[in-house]
Each structure stands twice: as structure tokens, then as C-alpha cells.
Structure 1
Amino acid sequence: MSQPLPVDSLRGKTALVTGSSRGIGADTARYLAQAGANVVINYRNKAPRAEKLANELRDLGVEVLVVGADLTDAASVNAMFESVAVAFGGLDVLVLNASGGMEGGMAEDYALQLNRDAQVQVLETALPLLREGSRVVFVTSHQAHFIRTTPTMPEYEPVALSKRAGEDALRERIPGLSARGVEFVVVSGDMIEGTITATLLERASPGAIAQRRESAGRLYNVGEFAAEVAQAVLDPVPADNTRLVGDISSFSAA
């Protein structure tokens, strides 16, 4: 596995990545640990998978805390950050990676609960722990980031709208974060090969991913996109607080 961040560039720092037992979140946690960061792995319901990753990262010589939490439940989020406070005393990096909304059997407003309300709740609950000079990274997709001006697949539209609502709600907090010495950046990428969202979209609309790949020229895989998320933790924050990953020629800005 590649190592996008310089060795020891995050030594002594503590990073929490939501939804990090698998996929983009897990690879992001790996990259941060490779750079020396202590890592908090958050998962919703796959404890063995999260513990397996934690043991892998501990072999890198960093401290790892595994915390199960349903991000749509305030008490669960509070308990997660209480555990972080006890274990590490504070946070230097918060990666808001967990998202969803295409799962079956959920309430009609679940996408909005998870992709907007929970994101804001996690950030606000984390605030007392975020040290001066810390970085908050919000992970999204081009389909969501540009949804106001570029239509997406009907199957994905409710999720895209909810993620854009979450991004907007977080952006409103940038002045307050800046006043506390906390930096904020959005990382937006195209459809990512191998993610749960891509799999569900392909199931709902066979051929959708191949069509998007052809239109974009190429799609990033999980590891490649996670490397961009990890680099957003260290790289200077762009003037518009937005790191766009990959081709955006199919999307029009507002």
C-alpha cells in the first residue's frame, strides 16, 4: 500500500475518522497512522472488522481507539467523544467520512439525518476537543457537491441533495471554526470504484458506473481517493475550502 504522507508528519497528533472500519475511511485511517497519527476508528455495527484494522495499525507503533457509535444518535456521539477525551485528551484531525442513504429499510428522511444533521452534530460535539491548529475534513462526491447545477442519477439524487445540505451546513460554521483556530476543507471526488455506494448504484441502474467511467476517462479506486483525503489533512487549505479530486468537466459550478 502506498504512503501518501511523509513519515512522522503527524507524529503526536490524534485523528478520528468516522465510518473507518472499511472502504475509504479505513484506508484514510491507515494513511494517517502511517504518518504517525494516533487514530480513533469509528464504526456503526462491524466491531470485529474495526478491531482487525486497529490491530493492523497498532503494529505501526501508534495508539488506536475503536469506538462504535451511531452518528444519528446524540447519546452515542457524546459517548464516543467522551471516550476520545479520556484516551487522548483532544483531537487534531476530524475526518467526516461516514455517509449513506441508499440502504434499504431506513426511514424516509434517513439520508438527511445522516448526511446533514449527524455531520453537524458530530462536529459540534467534537468542538471542545479540537485543538488550535486542527483540521476538519468533510468527504463528499462531485454528484453531491455540484447537485445544484448538474443533475445526477435519479437513484442517487436524494443522497446527493442531503450531502450537499450537509456540506452547506458545515460551511456556515467556517467563520466560527476559524475563530477557534480550526481549519475546514471539503474533499469532493467522482464515483469511487469499489465503494458500497457504487455497488448500490450499479444494482439500481446496471451499467451506471461503466457509463460514468467512460464519461470521466477514469474513476479513482478506494485507496487512491483515500490518499487524497489523507493529503487534505496536511496540504494548505484551498482559498474556497474545496479540494476537487479528478475530472470535473462534466460538472458545472453554481
Structure 2
Amino acid sequence: METPLATGSLAGIRALVTGSSRGIGADTATFLAAAGAKVVINFRNKEPRALKIVAGIEQSGGEAFAVGADLTDPASVEAMFQQVQERWGGLDLLVLNASGGMESGLGEDYAMKLNRDAQVNVLTAAEEVLVEGARVVFVTSHQAHFIKTTPTMPEYEAVALSKRAGEDALRERIPGLTEKGIEFVVVSGDMIEGTITATLLERVNPGAIQSRREDAGRLYKVDEFAAEVAQAAVDQIPENHTRYVGDISGFTR
């Protein structure tokens, strides 16, 4: 993967990426580490994958460690940030990447628990370790970001609504974050090829991703979108705190 950030540009930065044992989170963490950041790899139950990411970063000369935490469990989240404080003394970058809701067997309210409630709880706990000048990056989809004005696939609607609810709840925290000198930015992209969400959508609605690909012209791959998320760690905060990845014309008509 070609890193989007200059080598050494994030030297001294202490970062934590939620849900970074695989997919977009893993690639984002790897890009940040390649630019010099020290990175916490967060996982829920995929410890071997998380340790593999850590090993890869260390083999490339970077610094990282893995922490297991169920983001829907406040005590687990608090313990995670305590480890960060003890090891590194603070945090300069928090990437809120973990999301879900398409999985089966987790309860009807799981999407809202993870995509709204957990995001707020993670940010609340993180504020104890985020230093002045830190940045919070929230990762979402166009389907969720624009759900109030643009309908999405029925199979994805509950997830989209919960992610938008999470974004709204986090945005309410911006004034308080600003007072503490903490920046906030949302990164929104279309459906991403190869993600768990895309796979599950295709399973319940065969052809859904192909149809979306045709409508959009192209869909970003995991590493391409992760590069944009990593770039959001250093770019100037855009208008309305939102960085759009790819074409949004189909969502703003």
C-alpha cells in the first residue's frame, strides 16, 4: 500500500483507531504508523489479527500495541484509555472507525448501541486523555450522512439511521471540544469494496454492491478509503467539519 502521508510527518503523534484489527481501521492505523505515529490497535474479539497488525508496524520500525475493548461496554472502554494514559501519557488523535449493525444475532438495538451510544461513550472517555491540539475523526458513509434527505437500500436503512444518530450526537459535542482545543472532523465515503458491511449487504441483497458501483461510477477499495481517513488526521478542518470522499452528487440533488 502506498502511504498517503509523508514519512515522519506524524512523528510524536499518539493515535488510537477503533476497530483496527482489520479492514479500513487496520489500513488507517498502518498508514498513520508509516508516517511516524504511535498507534493503538483496538479490537473486540479478533486479538490474533490485531497482534498481526502490531507486528507489521513494528517490523517496519513503528510503534504500536493492541488493546481489546468492547466499545458498547463503558468499563471496557475506560480500561482501554487507562492503558493509553499509563503507557503514553495522553492521546493526540482518535479515529472513531468501528461500526456495525448488519451482523445477525446481536439484537435489534445493537446498531444504535454501537453506532450512536458507544461512539459518544468512547469520546467521553477519550476526553480524559486527549491533549490540547488533538483531533477526533469520525468515519461514516454517504448513505448514513445523507439519510435524512436521500433514501438508502432498505437492508442498510437501520444502520444508516444509527450512524447518522451517532454523527449528530458527536456533533453536539463540538463546542465543548473546541473549548478544550480539540478538533473534530467527519470523513464520509460511499460503499467501500471489500468491507464487512458490503459483504453482508451483498449476502442479503445479491447485486446490491454492483448496482451501487454502477450508480456511483466507481467505489473506493479499503486501502484507498483508509488513505483518505489517514489524510483527515492532518488536513485543515473543512467547512461544516465534513470531508467527503468521492462523488456526492447523487446524494445532494
Same fold, judged at TM 0.5 (above): yes
| Aligned-partner Cα distance in 1 for 2:63–2:222 | 24
1:193 corresponds to 2:189: no
Q: In the alignment, what sits opposite 2:165?
A: 165
Letter matched to residue 45 of structure 1: N
Letter matched to residue 239 of structure 2: A
| Aligned-partner Cα distance in 1 for 2:170–2:62 | 30
2:167 is paired with a residue of what secondary structure?
A: helix
Letter matched to residue 133 of structure 2: G
Q: For 1:90-239, what aligned pairs fall within 5 Å after superposition? A: 90-239=90-239
> CA-to-partner distance for each residue in 1:71-114, whole Å, 9 max, x for gaps?
00011101101111111110000000000001000111100000
| Aligned-partner Cα distance in 2 for 1:180–1:58 | 32
Letter matched to residue 97 of structure 1: N
| Aligned-partner Cα distance in 1 for 2:209–2:61 | 38
* Displacement over 4 Å in runs of 4+: none
| Aligned-partner Cα distance in 1 for 2:210–2:105 | 27
Q: In the alignment, what sits opposite 1:36?
A: 36
Percent identity of equivalent pairs:
71
Q: CA deviation at 1:128?
A: 1.4
| Aligned-partner Cα distance in 1 for 2:65–2:85 | 11
Q: CA deviation at 1:3?
A: 1.0
For structure 2, list consecutive stretches of 5 or more residues without a partner in the other structure. none
1:70 is paired with a residue of what secondary structure?
A: coil
Q: For 1:1-16, what aligned pairs fall within 5 Å after superposition? A: 1-16=1-16
| Aligned-partner Cα distance in 2 for 1:77–1:65 | 16
Letter matched to residue 67 of structure 2: V
Q: In the alignment, what sits opposite 1:73?
A: 73
Q: CA deviation at 1:252?
A: 2.3
Q: CA deviation at 1:182?
A: 0.5
| Aligned-partner Cα distance in 2 for 1:108–1:220 | 29
> CA-to-partner distance for each residue in 1:139-192, whole Å, 9 max, x for gaps?
000000000000000000000000000000000000110110100000000000
For structure 1, list consecutive stretches of 5 or more residues without a partner in the other structure. none
CA RMSD of aligned residues (A): 0.8
| Aligned-partner Cα distance in 2 for 1:29–1:85 | 19
With the length of structure 1 as denominator, give the TM-score of the two structures: 0.98
| Aligned-partner Cα distance in 1 for 2:96–2:85 | 18
Q: CA deviation at 1:62?
A: 2.4
| Aligned-partner Cα distance in 2 for 1:3–1:172 | 33
Letter matched to residue 91 of structure 2: L
Q: For 1:232-251, what aligned pairs fall within 5 Å after superposition? A: 232-251=232-251
